[in-house]
Amino acid sequence: MTMSKTSILATLAVGLILVGAGCNGSKSFKPYDAERNPTILANRGAPSLDDEFRPAAWVLIDGKEGSFTEVDGRPQVQWVINEPVGPSPTFRVEAFEPVLGKPTIFKAVLRTVQADDGSDITYAIAATGGDFEVGRDYSLATPGESFVIRERPTMDVVDSIKPLPPGTYMIAASIENPDTTKVGLAITYFTVAGQAE
């Protein structure tokens, strides 16, 4: 997958997030701390809300962590999960508590980067009621009654997201702490595996 258009996609993703609208999960994942978090481990310094290349939030897909990449020596915004996931994966947002506290407002955009069948999907997903839980696994297809899923470009509300065709996808998420109004952004690229041959 080529990442040469990351700044365009990142700008588009952030713009779509601002338009955006419970599943049973587990909380067995140990939260990231000052020594063990993706931004520190990528040698980018401490997570910061003032530097897009030092995110304080990360989206895991099917429990898989991503890694940060560079292109021509330049850091990229997105976190890339190299291991393929299933067509109806789970997602989990992790936040760096010393910077973000405990965010409960969630908005995201899921969109196709490149699908093997040529399809192009975009969904806006938002948790309602401010009861989103960082560190909890949610189904991407059916995250629960406290979520609204809108299919773009019509913005029609849909009950669920159909299984994703094999290909590469991006989820760009925004999480906000309503007490401090601090917002963390996370962009994750992931690949849905094709059928076994």
Domain limits, the chain: 6-192
- The DSSP secondary-structure symbol of 163 reads P
Looking at residue 17, its pLDDT comes to 43
Position 195 pLDDT exceeds 80? no
Report the mean per-residue pLDDT for the chain. 86
Looking at residue 21, its pLDDT comes to 38
Looking at residue 73, its pLDDT comes to 86
CA distance 194 to 23: 26
Position 6 pLDDT exceeds 80? no
Give 36-94 pLDDT, tens digit per residue.
Answer: 999 999 999 999 999 999 999 999 999 999 999 889 989 999 999 999 999 999 999 99
pTM for the predicted model, two decimal places = 0.83
State the DSSP string of 16-80: HHHH---------SPPP-SSSSHHHHTTS-S--TT-TTS-SEEEEETTB--EEEEETTEEEEEEE
More confident residue, 21 or 82: 82
Average pLDDT over residues 153-159: 94
Helix (H) or strand (E) holding 15: helix 6-19
Looking at residue 7, its pLDDT comes to 45
pLDDT class of 147 with cuts at 50, 70, 90: very high
